[in-house]
Structures are given as C-alpha cells and as structure tokens.
Amino acid sequence: HATYAYFAKILLNDVDILTSGSIAAGIYSREGSRITVTGGSIKTIGNNANGIDVYHSDVELKQISIETQGKYAHGLRISDKGTLTGDDLNVFSNRASGVLLDKSWNSALASLTNSQITGDSAAYYLDSSYAYYDDEVNSLNITGGSVTATAKDGSAFYVNAGAADITVDNLQNVSAANLLTVNDNNWNNVIFRAKNDSTLSGAIQAGNSNVTVDLDKTSLWNVRGDSAIGNLTNAGIINLNTASGSLYAAKLMLTDSSILNIQLDRSVGEPVIVTSYSSLNGALNISGIGNINNSLITTPYTFTLISAENEINGDFNNFTVAGIDAKETDFLTIDGRINPDNKAQYELVTALSWYADKHNAATDAHGTFTLSAANGEFTVNNHLDDVTNTLASTNSSGWDGKSLTKLGDGTLILSAANTY
C-alpha cells in the first residue's frame, strides 16, 4: 500500500499517489485512524487494489481524483465502523463499483457531496454477505453530484445483502440502466429516499416486501424499464412511458402532492400498474389516450390502468388528459374511475366526442379538438367518419357531422387516411 495507517492520524495535501500490483491500495486505513486528504489524486493498477480502503477509521476527503483499473478494485471501500466523508470527489472504477460499503462485524457510513461516482456494474454497492450480525445498517448519504454505471445492465445503487439506508439529496444526474437494484435473496430492510429536487432515471428492481422507496414532493423519477418495488410512497412526480417500462408496487401510496404522468404508447397493454394494496391521491395526467384501442373512435372503450389484488383506497383529486382537465377535454368523453363492481381496478372509460350522439352520450357530438397546452398531444388512429346521419335532433352544437376544427397550441395527429 502507498499509505498504511494503523491507529494513526494523517493529513495529506495535494499528494499524488500511484500503486501497481494486486491488493495495493492507495490509502489503507485501519483501527481508529483519522485521515484527512485535500487535493491530489490516487490511481491504482492491479486487482483488488482499492483507491482508499477504510476499516474502523474516519476518513475525510476533499477535491480528490481517484481511479482504479483492476478487477474488484473499488474506488472507495468502507467497512466495519468505517466512516467516510467526501466533497467534490471524482471517482472512476472501470472494473468494479465506484464505492463499496462492506459490513462484516459493524455497519459502514459514507456521506458524499457534489461528487462524481462511476463504476461498471454498480456505482454504489452495499453488501453484508459475510456479516456476523444483522442488527446494523449500512448508511449512504448522497448530495448533488452524479452517479454513473457503465455496464449495459448496471445499477446506480446495488444492495446485495444486509440492511441499507440510502438517501439522495438534490441528485440530478443519474446515468444507469437501473436506478436501484436489491438482490432478491436479501430480506433485510432497505430504504431508499429521494429529496430536495432529486431527478432520477432508470428502472428499480426491488420487489421484495422489505424494500421501501420514498420520493418527497420535490423529487422526480423517470421510469426507464420494467420496475418492481415492495413499497412505494410518492409525494413528487413519477413519469411513466409505457413504451419504455411498467410498474409493479406491492404497496402503492400516492400522497396529495403526488403527480403521476403516464404516456400510453401505441402498443400499450393493460394494466399499466399492478399492485396488491394501493392508496390513490394527487394528480393523474394521461397522454396518448388515443392509443389504448384502435376502435376508440367508433365505440366507447374501458381500459384498466391500475389493477390491484385488494380494494383501492382513495382516488385522484385531479385528472387531466394531454395536460387538460378531463372535464374540459372537448374532443373526448372520458372518465377515470374505480371499477364499481370489484373496486380493485382503476379504469379509463372513453370515446371521441365526434361519435357522442351515436353512443347516446350525455354531451352533444361535435368536431372541435382543443389542445390548449403547448406540449399536449393527441393522436387519432383511425379515419373519422361522416356522422351527419347519426346526429341527434337535440344536438345544439351547430356541427355539420363531418368538419374538423383544431384549436389551441397543442398537437393533433391524424395517423390514418381521413375521408371526411
């Protein structure tokens, strides 16, 4: 090792460290040592050669670049009463995780601020595979910075074994296929919290009941890939595009500040969200409503958005389509409702207002499509028929049954050959 500390106190400023060979750490800290490093760089070339290895010690790092190139060579490894605090770090490990929290006898703690962490299969890896006790928790606190996993199926955060408590604060740069992965064989409690304007992307593979994901009212999660979560509480924003993912949550709780944005793609299947127990609240915004069925325009259609094993509690306070209040969506007769028979499905019941008289709907048929929101979009998948002969005698809209009027700054897409 370049630096070996045993019951030592060390202060390093602007030091560049290079090691080569297996198990040759840049800094190897043991048994009650206290190390402070400011500036400089650490580079290791060799298998199992961690950049900094912390055991039963306190290490503080500022403005340091750490690079490891060997197999199982982690940028930072913290274990057994090890505590690491880092600010403005740049950690790159091309054949291991950037940061490893590894518990045997006691838990480990890492707190990193404005740091860029890159690993291969995982940026952060939390493990207790060889722990003698299960009563302590590995803790990880991340504020700002970026998290990158370079492997095709890599995870920003991977919990292999043991209890874990992960908090991300104002984390806005995540580049990984999976945001969070928890080993299916790990039944210890795992908590993942996002707060203070965190913007997260990726799939979450954490379907066991011991896993809790909690998003505060300022945080956002872009679902990328099929995701499974034991317990999901959302007070912020979840964006789900069915072209790129789906969601299973054994327990789903949407609070009054929750916003659930769902983009339905042309090949969408139902249901989009599956749960065992659910409590609905907050806002639901649906885009791509015209994609739920090609025959949407000719007959009313019921689409199951959420399917639960048990009765659904609560309901959405606000329901919008393409950014427009569903009650004010002139081109659709649409309703979001909990199935009145089984009370375990949240459904969309909809048809085009173009055919309202033909369906004996409560509203008059007409040909106006108003998309007031500039980013709103609606697609009509089939041609629009001339419905002059089916207009009700009580229709007071003044419509001729065949003319289309487009209003507003949003986008109306006619994807089929229209002959009206």
Task: Write the pLDDT tens digit of every residue in 74-126.
Answer: 999 999 999 999 999 999 999 999 999 998 888 899 999 999 999 999 999 99
Q: Do 351 and 333 touch, CB atoms closer than 8 A?
A: yes
Q: What is the pLDDT of residues 36-49, one digit of tens each?
A: 999 999 999 999 99
Whole-number pLDDT of residue 166:
99
Whole-number pLDDT of residue 314:
97
Triad 36, 37, 39: Cα angle to 5°:
150
Beta-carbon contacts of 31 under 8 Å, excluding residues fewer than 6 positions away, are: 6, 7, 55, 56, 57
| 407 lies in some domain | no
| 389 lies in some domain | no
How many structural domains are present in the chain?
A: 1
CA distance 125 to 101: 6
Q: What is the pLDDT of residues 9-41, one digit of tens each?
A: 999 999 999 999 999 999 999 999 999 999 999
Q: What is the pLDDT of residues 50-75, one digit of tens each?
A: 999 999 999 999 999 999 999 999 99
- Binned at pLDDT 50, 70 and 90, residue 297 comes out as low
Query: Has residue 194 got a pLDDT over 60?
Result: yes
| 401 lies in some domain | no
Q: Where are the alpha helices (DSSP H) in 74-135?
A: none
Whole-number pLDDT of residue 332:
82
Find the mean pLDDT for residues 263-283: 95
| 395 lies in some domain | no
| 248 lies in some domain | yes
| 398 lies in some domain | no
Per-residue burial over 382-416, b = 16 or more CB atoms within 10 Å of its CB, e = otherwise: bebbebeeebeeebebebebeeeeeebebebebee
CA distance 308 to 314: 13
Token pair 């091309």 is found at: 94
Taking the CB of residue 344, how many other CB atoms lie within 10 A of it? 18
Token pair 């991340």 is found at: 142
Residue numbers of the domain that contains 339 = 3-353
| 304 lies in some domain | yes
| 411 lies in some domain | no
Find the mean pLDDT for residues 206-226: 97
H or E, element range at 7: none
